Structure 1
Amino acid sequence: MSVSGKLSTLRLPPLPTLGEIIKLYNLRAEKHLSQNFLLDLRLTDKIVRKAGDLKNAYVCEVGPGPGGITRSLINADVEELLVVEKDTRFIPGLKMLNEASNGKVRIVHGDILTYRMDRAFPNHLKKKWEDDPPNIHIIGNLPFNVSTPLIIKWLENIANRDGPFTYGRTQMTLTFQKEVAERMTASTGGRQRSRLSIMCQYLCNVKNCFTIPGSAFVPKPEVDVGVVHFTPLIKPQIEQPFKLVEKVVQNIFQFRGKYCHHGVANLFPEEQRLKLTEKILMLADVDPTKRPRELTISHFRNLCNVYRQLCDEDPNLFTYNFREELRLKKLHRVTHEAS
C-alpha cells in the first residue's frame, strides 16, 4: 500500500462537521460551566501532535465536549481512547465518533475530579517509575473553572504515585488560561512566578507548547489559551510530603510583593513566630529580604527540609493554621464587643 493509501486509512469516514453536530444536538457552551469549544481541527491536530507520537497509545481525554480533539486523537491512530465527559448533552455525538472509529472510543459519563484513573487502563501498561513514561497520555481542553484544582489534584497524585500515575510517569497535555500556563512555566524572578510555578516544577518537566488565540474558541473567551505539556520527573526536586510542600509554598506566596520572611512567619504560632522564622531562614540559608518570586526551587527545598525537621520536633507545628488563628481572633473580638 502506498504512503498516501496508508494515511487515508487512518482518517475517520465522512462524518457531520463539528458545527453540524452542535446544530444537530442543539449544543451550546454553558457559561456557568466555563465551556469553550475548539472547532478548528488544525488546532486540535496541533494539540495532539504536542503530546508526541500517539500511534497505538492509550489516551484519556478530559472533557471532550463536541469532540474536536477526540477526532484528532482517533486520526492519530491511538489504540484506545477513553473520554470522560460530565455533560450528558455531548454523549450522543461521542457515540457517533465511537461507531465511526470501529469502537476505539470508550465513553465514561462522569466527573474527572472523582473518576478512578488508577483503574482506567490495562495493568500490562504499567512501568516502573524510573523507566520511560508508559504508553498512556492524558489530554484535554479543560474548562477554566476546573483546570487549576484538577492539576493540583494530579500533582498530588504524582507525588504519591497514585491515580493516573500508578502506571508510571504518565504524560499530560492540557489547556489553561494563558496567564495560568505562564505561571506554571515561569522561571525564578519572572513576573508570573507563583505558587503554581513551584508546585508544577518541583514535580514535573513543564513546557508551554503554544498559545491559542481566544478567537479560535466558541464562544470566544476573554483570554487566550496556553497548551502545556507535563512529564513527571523521576526524582522530585523537593523530597517531602506533598501537603508539607504545598503549605510552605502557599504561605510564602501569600505576600507576593513583600519580603519572603512575612510569609515564612505565618508558618508559626505567634508566641514562637520571631524565633522560629529566624531559625528556619538561617538554617535554610535564605535571605529574608528576597521576594517570593526570587526564591529558587533549591531555596524552597531547603525551607521544606528545615520545616520538616521543626515539625518532627514539635508535631503541633504542622497542624497550625495562620488563617484559622486570625478567624478565631476575629470571632473572639466580635463576641467580646457584643457582650
Structure 2
Amino acid sequence: MSGIDDLPALRDVIASHGLSARKALGQNFLLDLNLTAKIARAAGDLSGCDVLEVGPGPGGLTRGLLAEGARRVLAIEKDARCLPALEEIAAAYPGRLEVINADALALDWSAHLTPPVKVVSNLPYNVGTELLIRWLTPPAWPPVWQSLTLMFQREVADRIVAAPGSKTYGRLAILAQWRSDARIALTLPPEAFTPPPKVHSAVVHFTALPSPRFPADQAVLERVVAKAFNQRRKMLRAALKGLAPDIEDRILAAGLKPTDRAEQISIEGFCALARAVAG
C-alpha cells in the first residue's frame, strides 16, 4: 500500500504489469508518490476542476491528482501497455478517471471536459514543447484551461520564464508570457525518474491571463518574433528585412531602434512592432 491511497506502490505496479519506460515515447516515470502529490498541489485547488493529464504512464501523477481532490481526471495515454494499470486506478476512484488510448497531438480533448479545466502533466519530452505551443495559441482567448502545470527539461523551463537580455530569451518566452503568468514551481534531479534522464527537470505553472498583456495580432506577432530570433545576432533592420519595404520606419514607429537586437526587445516592444507591421 502506498502513502497516498490504498493502491500498490508504483514500483510494484510497474513490475506486475511488466512496464518499462520507452525512449521512443519520451517516457521517464516518476515513482515517488509524495513527489507526484507535490506536483498536483502546485496546480492549486483541484476540487472543483476537471484535469487533463497527458502521458500518465503507470499513473503516479494521476493518483496524486485524484488524491488531491480533482473533480475528474481525463488521462490521455498513447502507450497501450499502461492501460491495465490506469484501469486499476479508475476502479479505486469510481467515476473520477477517464482514460483514452490516443495520441494527444491528434485528439480534441476539450469535448471530454467540463470547465473549469486545469492541465497537469509530466509531459513526454518528445512532444512537450509542441503541446505547450498549441495550448498557448488556441483560436480564441481566453482558452479552455485556467492553468497549466507542466514538467519540462530544465533548459526548456528556463527558456519559458526568461527575461529580455538573457541568452535563453526567445520565441518561447514571448509566446508564454504574452498570454500567461509563468513561473518555475519546482525542480527535480535526474534520479527522481526511472530511468533517470541526462538532465534536470522543472515544473512550470502557467496561469492564463484574461486577455494578452499587450494588443497584437497573434499571427503577425509570431511572424515578427520568428524572423527577429531566426537571426538573433543581427540588428532588427537586417533581421526583419522583407517584412515591409519601409521596415526601418515601422521599427521607429514602434518606439524601437533599428539597431536593436531581438534579445533586447521586451514583449511590449514586440507587440508594438507587430502592430506597426500590421498597420
TM value normalised by structure 2 = 0.94
1:49 and 2:38 matched: no
Structure with larger Rg: 1
In the other structure, the counterpart of 2:25 is 33
In structure 1, the residue matched to 2:130 is 149
1:224 aligns with 2:221: no
Q: Is the 8 A contact 2:4 2:64 kept in 1?
A: no
Partner Cα separation in structure 1 for residue 51 and residue 251 of structure 2: 44
1:12 aligns with 2:5: yes
1:209 alignment partner in structure 2: 185
Determine the structure 2 residue equivalent to 1:66.
Answer: 58
| Alpha-carbon distance in 2 for matches of 1:211, 1:110 | 29
C-alpha deviation, 1:11, in angstroms: 4.8
Using the TM superposition, give the Cα deviation of residue 142 of structure 1 relative to its aligned residue in structure 2, in angstroms. Answer: 0.5
1:243 corresponds to 2:212? no
Q: TM-score, normalised by structure 1?
A: 0.78
Alignment-mate amino acid for residue 39 of structure 2: I
Kindly state the Cα deviation for residue 266 of structure 1 after the two structures are TM-superposed: 4.4
d(CA) in 2 for partners of 1:27, 1:78: 26
1-side partners of 2:171 and 2:98: how far apart? 36
Cα displacement string for residues 180-204 of structure 1 (whole angstroms, at most 9, x for unaligned residues)? 1111111121221111010111111
Where structure 2 has 5 or more consecutive residues not aligned to the other structure, the ranges are: none
Q: Note the C-alpha offset of 1:237.
A: 2.2
Structure 1 residue 21 corresponds to structure 2 residue 13: yes
Measured after TM superposition, the shift of residue 245 of structure 1 is 1.4
Deviations 1:207-262 (A, max 9, x none): 11111111211111111111011111112024333222111111101122332333
Counterpart check, 1:255 vs 2:231: yes
Structure 1 runs of 4+ off > 3 angstroms? none
Q: Paired residue for 1:319? A: none
**Cα displacement string for residues 156-195 of structure 1 (whole angstroms, at most 9, x for unaligned residues):** 11x6238xx24xx521100111011111111121221111
- Where does residue 87 of structure 1 map in the other structure? 79
d(CA) in 2 for partners of 1:302 and 1:214? 41
Aligned partners of 1:239 and 1:145: how far apart in 2? 32
Tell me the distance in 1 between the aligned counterparts of 2:271 and 2:80.
44
Over aligned residue pairs, what C-alpha RMSD do you find? 1.7
Give the paired residue count: 277
Structure 2 equivalent of residue 282 of structure 1: 252
